[in-house]
Amino acid sequence: MTNPLLELDLKKAGIGTVIWATGFGVDYGWLKVEALDDAGRPRHQRGVSSEPGVYFLGLPWQTRRGSSFIWGVWHDAKYVADHIAKQRGYMAYKPARKDA
């Protein structure tokens, strides 16, 4: 990579969700939210972080032995994608006006 992106204003870029998918090494140093425990590991339940809009995939034993492998991560990816879709539905909900 010759011109890596070193910083990004998520709000200005219109990004409301981050999915952190681990690769060859673990480094969460760039993540400046309260989504990590005191040891620097992700705080989550089935990939859904304690920080709204932050999700994790590919963690060892996230929900099953295959969670950190390409052939097994799809279980967790589906759960996280379903969770995101449900949250978007909640945010889009507009109750009926009482005076209508």
Question: Stretch 24-45: mean pLDDT, rounded?
Answer: 83
pLDDT at 26: 75
Enter the pTM of the model: 0.64
Strand-by-strand arrangement of the 54-57 sheet: 18-21, 54-57, 48-49, 44-45
Q: Would you say residue 22 has pLDDT above 60?
A: no
Nearest alpha-carbon partner for 47 in 93, 80, 23, 9: 80
User: Domain residue spans in the chain?
Assistant: 18-92
State pLDDT tens for residues 57-90: 888 888 888 888 878 888 889 999 999 999 888 8
Asked if residue 73 lies in contact with residue 67, where contact means CB atoms within 8 angstroms, the answer is yes
pLDDT at 97: 81
